[in-house]
Amino acid sequence: MPKGLYVGVDVGGTKIAAALVDGKGRILLRDKTATPRDGKPKGVLKAISVLVKGLLNEGGLRRKDLLGVGAGVPGIVDGEGRMLAAPNVALAGVRVGRELEKALGADAVVGNDVNLGVLGEQWLGAARGHENVVGIFPGTGVGGGVIVGGELLLGTHGAAAELGHIVVDPEGPVCGCGIRGCLEALASRTAIEKDIRRALRRGERSLIRDWLGKAPKVIKSKVLAKALKRKDPVVMHAFHQAAQALGLACVSLRHVFDPELFVFGGGLVEACGQHLLPAVQDALDEDPLFKKVSSCEAVPSELGDDAVILGAVALAKRTL
């Protein structure tokens, strides 16, 4: 096992994934565990440190062989590594970086998971070599990350780039955050599922009803992809609506950030991106103001599930 390694950690609401990574971004070992859901930070921090120590043991490494640990967490992280908001994991108010340093005896840095996902894509994925990038990850919500001049945009409190909560339709549905017509309320997987459920309740014909019944609880990305392939009108309509909202958001974001490209990631895009991205590209191409400035591409993520882990390592490399 070579020396000078990093550990990248992706802390999610249901699972924590970690990997031993070299300075070039090659993943040497990986492992994952379930996220403790008893509402206590102690359990989550313990699970992370057990996972990291397990990787070191398995690799036959000592802590001094480790250059640092980077962790992506689902929520808002301030400049001191404290989580200001953490809707999906029991870490609110915790200085995650410092706690991990104490538990592991190694330097640690923490960032918002989607921000780090975009940083990962910029280091080794779809946005390789680009200095100005906007990333959008539709899933349960819609996560965002913005890189300006090669650096992550963090804002005053680390809360910049919450792109899911920009308003694209003031008449639209109320978002989980309380604002009406957020991108997240129109283009997340949750929003797409809601749209499909409403159509099923209205009695519209759909393969989803044949496969999952009249009131499906969860509609997985794979099932959506299958229905799209068969041109199911209900699912196609839901994706059309979501793509329109994403297109509007991207046109506005382009006017703010003038990025070289938009990267779209997450499981929904992986499974169904070909039914979202072309409409976003059309919206970008038709933008009359920027037609004369440049072209700008909407591309899918290349790193998939590894984007956050590699972005966390990129952050550790830059910071530590």
Interface residues with Zn ion (CB under 5 A) are 165, 175, 177, 179, 182
CA distance 298 to 81: 31
Least distance from Zn ion to the Cβ atom of residue 304, Å = 26
Closer residue to Zn ion (CB): 148 or 179 = 179
Q: How is residue 174 written in tokens?
A: 């109320």
Q: Are 308 and 10 in contact (CB under 8 A)?
A: yes
Q: How is residue 7 written in tokens?
A: 């550990």
Least distance from Zn ion to the Cβ atom of residue 56, Å = 40
CA distance 69 to 73: 13
Closest CA to 119 of 14, 18, 250, 265: 265
Closer residue to Zn ion (CB): 49 or 188 = 188
Closer residue to Zn ion (CB): 13 or 173 = 173
Closest CA to 196 of 160, 167, 234, 223: 234
Closer residue to Zn ion (CB): 181 or 266 = 181
Closer residue to Zn ion (CB): 142 or 268 = 142
Least distance from Zn ion to the Cβ atom of residue 184, Å = 5
Closer residue to Zn ion (CB): 52 or 182 = 182
Least distance from Zn ion to the Cβ atom of residue 311, Å = 24
Strands (E), the chain: 5-11, 15-21, 27-34, 66-73, 76-77, 83-85, 108-112, 133-138, 142-148, 151-152, 261-264, 297-300
Q: How is residue 20 written in tokens?
A: 């031993």
DSSP string, 128-142: TT-SSEEEEEESSSE
Q: Are 83 and 75 in contact (CB under 8 A)?
A: yes
Q: Which amino acid is residue 259, in one-letter code?
A: P
Using left for φ > 0, alpha for ψ between -120 and 50, and beta otherwise, residue 155 falls in left
Closest CA to 299 of 133, 177, 148: 133
Closest CA to 137 of 291, 10, 3: 10
Least distance from Zn ion to the Cβ atom of residue 262, Å = 20
CA distance 81 to 71: 10
Closer residue to Zn ion (CB): 99 or 162 = 162
Closer residue to Zn ion (CB): 99 or 184 = 184
Least distance from Zn ion to the Cβ atom of residue 79, Å = 24
Least distance from Zn ion to the Cβ atom of residue 230, Å = 32
Least distance from Zn ion to the Cβ atom of residue 159, Å = 13
